[in-house]
Structure 1
Amino acid sequence: MGGPRRGASRATTIVDIARAAGVSKSTVSLVLKGSPLVKAETREAVEQAIERLGYVYNRSAANLRTARSSFVGMVISDLMNPFFTELAVGIEDALYNLGFIPILANTNEDVERQARVLQSLREHGVAGIVMSPARGTDAWSLAELLPRSMPLVVTMRRIEGSPAPYIGPDNRVGCRRAVEHLIGLGHTAIGFLGGDGTMTTQRERVSGYRDALQAAGLPFDEALVFESMPTRAGGVEAVTAALASPLRPTAVVCYNDIVAMGATRALTVRGVRVGVDFAVVGFDDIVEAENNAPPLTTMNADTRQMGARAAQGLLGLIGGADPAAMSFTGDSRLVVRESCGAHLRQKPIREAVR
């Protein structure tokens, strides 16, 4: 009635290999899959343990487990930004309704942190990943981190050169409409605030800004593009530079609502009446926009719906759909509130003050 005989022990498992090699179970799994992420000396230690213990890797069983994984990665670039919080809620709700459990990670706009997160998600065998990339993410580095077999959807920020489907708003057309609105209110000196040229989203929105000016016969001047971090503090910095500029715009379109909120606060502190002396338009229409002082005119990108679209696109990839068919570029709708001065349209525009 004693314990099992030595010669009749159970089959060797990955846990046994990990214990013998002094590594984690996830590392053993990466070695078995031929991952290039494992150091040579670690790989050798694992392979020696496999040979010593006589482990046989059942690849078909492993593939079946991966295919049935109910976990997916949800990688968000900046959860401190209310826009990305709303996006994450849209993704999470849709994933839950589709029967998946998201593993949420915030990269805080750090590409190195993002790399560690993606590697960890791979090690945990997620069925796929939906990601809003950190600033500076490039296609080559992403390809190094994730095999083409890993279902991946990129949302809100394109990664130029990446085959991963993109789901997000049409930034160029949306920003063009915002500028056209300001031109229609009589503005001819219009600036662009926030973001920088390393960001695909910023480049797309600046392109829309340029399109609208040129279509109206107004000159595009790079001196009226005031780059800054896409934050409230960045909005303060950018609008301060705009007011000090010799060109002194009477209106601005902002990279996002957060920049616009920083700008409206800075203008108010300086005694510039937003919506009277100076027009401000944002982008995204986050929940806070309506409660800004004054309420913010902005482009509604239907953030939660975009999040749901991203989740559905990921499910399609997991099911074997063509990545090209999963891409989706949505429309943006102008929401007019007080910050642009449309309610005072009959009155002349006053020059911005220093």
Structure 2
Amino acid sequence: MTVDGLMNEGQERGRVTLQVIADKLSLSTATVSLALRDSAVVAESTKQRVQELARELGYVYNRSAASLRTARTNIIAVAFHDITNPYFTELLSTIEDTASRNGLSILLGTYSESLEKQNKVFATLREYRPDGMIICPAGGTTSANLRLLTSAGIPVVQVSREVPGTTLDFAGSDDARGMELAVEHLLALGHRRIALIGGNTLISTGNNRRTGYRNMLARHGIRFDPSLVVEGFGTRELGFRSIQRLLQLDDPPTAAVCFNDLVAFGAMLGLRHAGREAGVNFSIVGCDDVAEAAQWYPALTTIHNRQLEMGQSAAELLIRRIADPQADVRRVVLEPRLVVRNSTCPLR
């Protein structure tokens, strides 16, 4: 195995190294190494010469040798409880883009909302010796669950959700404020019986959004009614079932704020099955503003949580933490905004 991190897989003898490339181009091995990693400190003309020769000779980067030399793998792990929700797909996409721009690859692990599966995923990802991890923890995760990673010295950044009692970097949205904006919009339309569908106390986003919901009602002198709150993880099925049950109350709601857009999509379908229509005789507000929200019928009024910026911030926080493990802990909390479309209407 060469110490310079490059080898030609097809040559068992006399394999070509960084030194060979350097000699052919009359460059130093350090310059060749930087050029092959597309470093900004090397002139573009030099990078082009080096990379063209590497392609011509069919060189393959020897990651194992490089990681032995630098004690880094240039891999970051991403562990999410869900990637079926387009919100997390959007997060993952921008994390990968930011990582790639910085010469990093990603490993992905998922675990639904299962703590048991999460522990197994954390253990497996740790075996690959990633330089760091970005996690969105499963519901009910405690600081003890994260010690599997932190005790191994792996830098960890939390994204979207955060675990109480941890001192880890975090990138997310101001979830309480987002829910306040949603409820305030419905109150301005004349609604007073406003349901909250989805979320629970096992996750920070659920706690924070419920806090925002209650705060805005109290600010307008409206009594909190627990019969209008339905707990649960954010799925279309939850929205579909819950809205039909809420409509059967003696004093049913005229509007609903939903934990996320998936719940809102399900609630809109549930309304249709009950002979109602969002934006006509009932109001629905989602949360996240995934791409599908603008394409739904009717287009969904929702809270834009800036997930693309969130994913980029999480990746940048991790890159910073990897470079300086002793840096001060940072929390990037993004300001959400209300996006008004066609799923809300004045009280009739």
TM-aligned CA distance change 1:88 to 1:112, over 3 Å: same
- Aligned with residue 200 of structure 2, among 186, 196, 201: 196
Task: Please tell me whether residue 234 in structure 1 is matched to residue 238 in structure 2.
Answer: yes
Structure 1 residue 323: deviation in Å? 5.7
TM-aligned CA distance change 1:96 to 1:218, over 3 Å: same
Counterpart residue number, 2:260 = 256
Counterpart residue number, 1:112 = 116
- Aligned with residue 169 of structure 2, among 156, 165, 170: 165
Counterpart residue number, 1:270 = 274
**Secondary structure in structure 2 of the residue aligned to 1:179:** helix
- Aligned with residue 330 of structure 1, among 320, 328, 334: 334
In terms of mean alpha carbon deviation, does 139-148 or 277-286 score higher? 139-148
Mapped partners of 2:203, 2:255: distance in 1: 23
**Secondary structure in structure 2 of the residue aligned to 1:91:** helix
TM-aligned CA distance change 1:215 to 1:293, over 3 Å: same
Report the residue type matching 2:321 in the other structure.
Answer: L
TM-score when normalising by structure 1: 0.76
Structure 1 residue 250: deviation in Å? 0.5
Counterpart residue number, 1:307 = 311
Counterpart residue number, 1:179 = 183
Report the residue type matching 1:121 in the other structure.
Answer: L
Mapped partners of 1:286, 1:134: distance in 2: 21
TM-aligned CA distance change 1:340 to 1:228, over 3 Å: same
Structure 1 residue 108: deviation in Å? 2.1
Counterpart residue number, 1:42 = none
Task: Please tell me whether residue 208 in structure 1 is matched to residue 212 in structure 2.
Answer: yes
Mapped partners of 2:98, 2:149: distance in 1: 26
Mapped partners of 1:193, 1:66: distance in 2: 49
- Aligned with residue 97 of structure 1, among 76, 95, 101: 101
Mapped partners of 1:189, 1:197: distance in 2: 22
Counterpart residue number, 2:91 = 87
Report the residue type matching 1:92 in the other structure.
Answer: E
CA contact (8 A) 1:228 1:238 kept: no
Mapped partners of 2:156, 2:319: distance in 1: 10
Q: Give 5+ residue unaligned stretches, structure 1.
A: 1-60
Mapped partners of 1:298, 1:193: distance in 2: 14
Report the residue type matching 2:238 in the other structure.
Answer: G
TM-aligned CA distance change 1:323 to 1:187, over 3 Å: farther
Structure 1 residue 229: deviation in Å? 3.0
Identity between Structure 1 and Structure 2 (%): 37
- Aligned with residue 125 of structure 2, among 116, 121, 127: 121
Mapped partners of 2:260, 2:327: distance in 1: 28
**Secondary structure in structure 1 of the residue aligned to 2:201:** coil
Q: Give 5+ residue unaligned stretches, structure 2.
A: 1-64
CA contact (8 A) 2:168 2:329 kept: no
Mapped partners of 2:268, 2:327: distance in 1: 41
CA contact (8 A) 1:166 1:328 kept: yes
- Aligned with residue 291 of structure 1, among 295, 298, 302: 295
Mapped partners of 2:246, 2:207: distance in 1: 19
CA contact (8 A) 2:136 2:159 kept: yes
Structure 1 residue 76: deviation in Å? 1.4
CA contact (8 A) 2:167 2:329 kept: no
